[in-house]
Amino acid sequence: MEAIDDLIKQFLKELNYEPILEMLSNVRSGKKLRSKLLLAIAGESKESLKICAAIELIHLASLLHDDIIDESNLRRGSKSVNYEFGTKNALMLGDILYSKAFYELSQMNARFASIISDAVVKLAIGELMDVNLSKNFNTDKEKYLTMIYNKTAVLIEASAKCGAILAGYDESSFGEYGKNLGLAFQMVDDILDIKGDDKTLGKPAMADFKEGKTTLPYIYLFENLDKEEKVKLKNLFRKDLNEEENLWIKTRFKEKEILEKSVLEVKKYTKNAIDAIDKYSNQKLKDIVKAITDRDF
């Protein structure tokens, strides 16, 4: 992962504008799931590391834009770039990271650029879907799944496909692995928003509902409430919940075993992921799945 960080710094130093590196130093890079996935498939080489660096630049750019859209002050427990340096700077930094990533991809095999650029278009559509779904309480599970596929899973899927091409494996099988892993990954994040605490999350717990995100647990909860309670849940949507309202939602989650039902959905997608590449007997890919899902919910 250090080699990928070094490549990212090298790419951005080439732009010869110090504020870019200064702002980026405030961004916590995270666990680099997409890079770990690609390298677990293809192994480490000059080309695989460059693709990873480009993908991480794209992922960072998407997070910058996501924080602007959500007006988030925190990212992984630290001040967000838009909070620290202003929305305009965060927006332009995101554009710079996207553009530099595409430039680096243009120097490689056109197939990688094609896969990743297609994923980025879908990613942007996913952001737009998220914005539009947040206007009202969404009760449609399929709309939720389509949105998280585009917003989260497509770049993980693209990483897996690129790894498969580098390794000479079946692209569609690994794409299926990445897609299902990505869907499960986002569902876990949505569950932890409810189950986790402020310190662990690096943001206030149950922030999604206040921000207008009707995630899978809330959709399941709505389906299991009576008519009067459904109205109440909808009325709490996008509200700054007081202690009593917060407790009411958490109590209903527990009574209806909603988080348990959501975890079962996660396990369905992780099984699909592992099954898709079962014939390759890649333990590293199975460990990536376990690292995401084997936790105390």
Other CB atoms closer than 10 Å to residue 142's CB: what's the count? Answer: 7
Q: Using one digit for the tens of pLDDT, what is the confidence trace for 66-81?
A: 999 988 888 877 889 9
Helix (H) or strand (E) run with residue 55 in it? helix 46-70
SS3 assignment, position 75: strand
Instruction: Find the Cα–Cα–Cα–Cα dihedral 49, 55, 60, 62, rounded to 10°.
Output: 180
Query: What is the domain partition of the chain in residue ranges?
Result: 1-108, 110-297
With CA atoms as reference, report the closest residue to 49 among 106, 115, 93, 104: 104
Q: Are 285 and 41 in contact (CB under 8 A)?
A: yes
Q: Using one digit for the tens of pLDDT, what is the confidence trace for 135-156?
A: 999 999 999 999 999 999 999 9
Yes or no: domain 1-108 corresponds to CATH 1.10.600.10: yes
pLDDT interval class at 292 (50, 70, 90): confident
Number of H helices, E strands in the chain: 17, 2
- Residue 297 scores a pLDDT above 80: no
Identical fold for domains 1-108 and 110-297, yes or no, is yes
SS3 assignment, position 170: coil
CA atoms within 13 A of residue 21's CA, in its CB half-sphere: 14
Q: What gap in Å lies between CA 60 and CA 52, rounded to an integer?
A: 12
Q: Are 234 and 226 in contact (CB under 8 A)?
A: no
User: In the chain, what percentage of residues exceed pLDDT 90?
Assistant: 87
287: Cβ–Cβ under 8 A, 6 or more apart, which residues?
none
CA atoms within 13 A of residue 117's CA, in its CB half-sphere: 15
- Give the pLDDT of residue 196: 74
Q: Using one digit for the tens of pLDDT, what is the confidence trace for 27-58?
A: 776 789 999 999 999 999 999 999 999 999 99
Q: Using one digit for the tens of pLDDT, what is the confidence trace for 189-240?
A: 999 999 876 665 556 778 899 999 999 999 999 999 999 999 999 999 999 9
Sign of CA dihedral 283, 284, 289, 292: positive
Q: What gap in Å lies between CA 71 and CA 60, rounded to an integer?
A: 16
Q: What is the CA radius of gyration of the chain?
A: 20
> pTM, whole model, 2 decimals?
0.94
Q: Using one digit for the tens of pLDDT, what is the confidence trace for 91-116?
A: 999 999 999 999 999 999 999 999 99
- Give the pLDDT of residue 202: 57
Domain 110-297 CATH (choose: 3.10.129.10, 1.10.600.10, 1.10.150.530, 1.20.140.10): 1.10.600.10
- Give the pLDDT of residue 294: 78
Q: Picking from 5-14, 199-208, 255-264, 265-274, which range would have the lowest pLDDT averaged per residue?
A: 199-208
- Residue 296 scores a pLDDT above 90: no
Q: Are 185 and 155 in contact (CB under 8 A)?
A: no
Buried b (16+ CB within 10 A) or exposed e, 224-262: ebeeeebeebeebbbeeeeeeeeebbeebbeebebbebb
